[in-house]
Structure 1
C-alpha cells in the first residue's frame, strides 16, 4: 500500500501523492472517507497540523484536515477528543464539536444517547475504553463514512489513453525504422535480412519519399520521444491544444509513409 506524503483538493475529489509522485484519486462517498478523517477534524486543530498532509474545503466555513490514511485519522480523532474535551461532559463536548450554528446539535446528542446508552452528563475522562469507543464510533457514523471510488494513476482513463497512444507511436516508430533502414540499405548497396531491401529499378515514388512523408516521420519520432520522457499530462495538453484537423493530417501522412 502506498504511503501518501501530500494531498490536495480537486473539485470534490481528493488527490493523494506518494513519495515518487504517483497519484491516487478519491471521488464520491462522504468527505470524511475521501479525506481519511473519520471525525471531520478541521485542519487548524493541533492534530490536523500534526498529522495532516493537506486540507479540504467542504463549505464556506470548514477546512477539514486530510490525513495520509484512515489509521492516522482515527488516531487524530482520539487524541483530539481526549485533549480538547477530557474534562467536559458528552453534552458539553457535542455543543462545541457540532455547534448549533452549523448542526442540529440536540438531535446529534439524542442520537448518541440512543445508540451508546451513555448518560450525556458523564465526563469524557470518566468513560471506560469500551464506552469511549462506542461514543467515537457513533460520532463517526453520524459524520458520514460512505465509501466512494478510488483510482490510482495507472487506472485513470487519461493514463490508459496515454498507454494506448504510446503503444501506437512505438508501432509507428518500428515501421519507420524498418522503412528507413531499407532505404539506407538500398543506397549503400547492402542487403540486410532484417529489413526490406530495395531493388534496382525501384523508384523513389514507390517509397513515397516526398517532403510531406519525411516531415511526418520526423514529427512522429519527436512525439514518441516526448511521450516516453513526460507524464500523461503531456497527452492531455496535446489533445486540448492541437486542432483536430492537424492531428488527423499528421496521422494520415504518417500512415501513408509507413504502409
Structure 2
C-alpha cells in the first residue's frame, strides 16, 4: 500500500489515488523540511509552501463560517478555505465585522497575540507596507489585507492535480 511520506489533511475529494500519492511524494522530496505537509482538495493537492497558502487562508484565521475544514499548524488549528478568494473574503468579513472601528494597532494585538507572534515586528511590517496603525481597520482595509498576507507569509508550494 502506497502512503504519503508527509503528514497532511484530506479536506475534499475522498481518498488519494495511488498515482496522486506518488506525485505528492515526488513533490514532498522537492519541498523544504519545515513545509513538508499537504492539503488535499477535490481536484488538487497543495504540497509544501506556507500554511497560509496550503489552507487558502491568507490571514491564518482560526475559524470562519466560510471554512470547509481545519488543519493543524505550529500553534493550533487553522481554517481551510475552498479557494484563496474565499480565504480573502473570510478575512475581510472578520476584520470589518469584529474590528472595523478599532485602531489597526489594537486589532493586530488581538489577531496576532504576543504569546504566539512577534507582534511588534508584525506591526512594523504593516507600517512599512503603508498601513496607518492609528487609524481604524475600516479606513485601512484595502492596504491592510495585502500587508497581512505578506506578513503571514503566503508562500506557494507545489500543486499536484488529483488523478
Q: Report 1 or 2 for greater relative contact order, CA contacts < 8 Å, sequence distance ≥ 6.
A: 2
Q: Distance in 2 between the 1:145 and 1:53 partners?
A: 19
Q: Distance in 1 between the 2:78 and 2:149 partners?
A: 14
What is the number of residues matched between the two proteins?
A: 133
Gaps of 5+ in 1: 18-22, 155-259
- Structure 2 equivalent of residue 16 of structure 1: 41
User: What is the CA distance between 1:7 and its match in structure 2?
Assistant: 7.2
- Structure 1 equivalent of residue 112 of structure 2: 98
* 1:58 and 2:73 matched: yes
Radius of gyration: which is bigger?
Answer: 1
- Structure 2 equivalent of residue 144 of structure 1: 153
- Structure 2 equivalent of residue 6 of structure 1: 12
Q: Distance in 1 between the 2:114 and 2:84 partners?
A: 28
SS of equivalent to 1:103: coil
SS of equivalent to 1:84: helix
User: What is the CA distance between 1:153 and its match in structure 2?
Assistant: 2.1
Matches within 5 A, 1:128-139: 131-139=140-148
Residue 88 of structure 2: which of 65, 74, 82 is its match? 74
Q: Distance in 2 between the 1:6 and 1:85 partners?
A: 31
User: What is the CA distance between 1:40 and its match in structure 2?
Assistant: 0.6
Q: Distance in 2 between the 1:97 and 1:7 partners?
A: 31
Residues 7 and 132 of structure 1: CA distance in aligned 2, closer, same or farther (over 3 Å): farther
Q: Distance in 2 between the 1:109 and 1:121 partners?
A: 11
User: What is the CA distance between 1:55 and its match in structure 2?
Assistant: 0.5
Q: Distance in 2 between the 1:76 and 1:104 partners?
A: 24
Q: TM-score under structure 2 normalisation?
A: 0.75
CA deviation vs aligned residue, 1:106-149 (integer Å, no higher than 9, x gap): 11111111221x43121123x1xxx4211111100010111111
Moved over 6 A (4+): none
Residues 7 and 30 of structure 1: CA distance in aligned 2, closer, same or farther (over 3 Å): farther
Q: TM-score under structure 1 normalisation?
A: 0.48
Residue 56 of structure 2: which of 36, 39, 43 is its match? 36
SS of equivalent to 1:6: coil
Q: Distance in 1 between the 2:93 and 2:37 partners?
A: 27
Contact 2:92 2:141 in 1 (8 A): no
* 1:122 and 2:147 matched: no
Q: Greater share of helix residues, 1 or 2?
A: 1
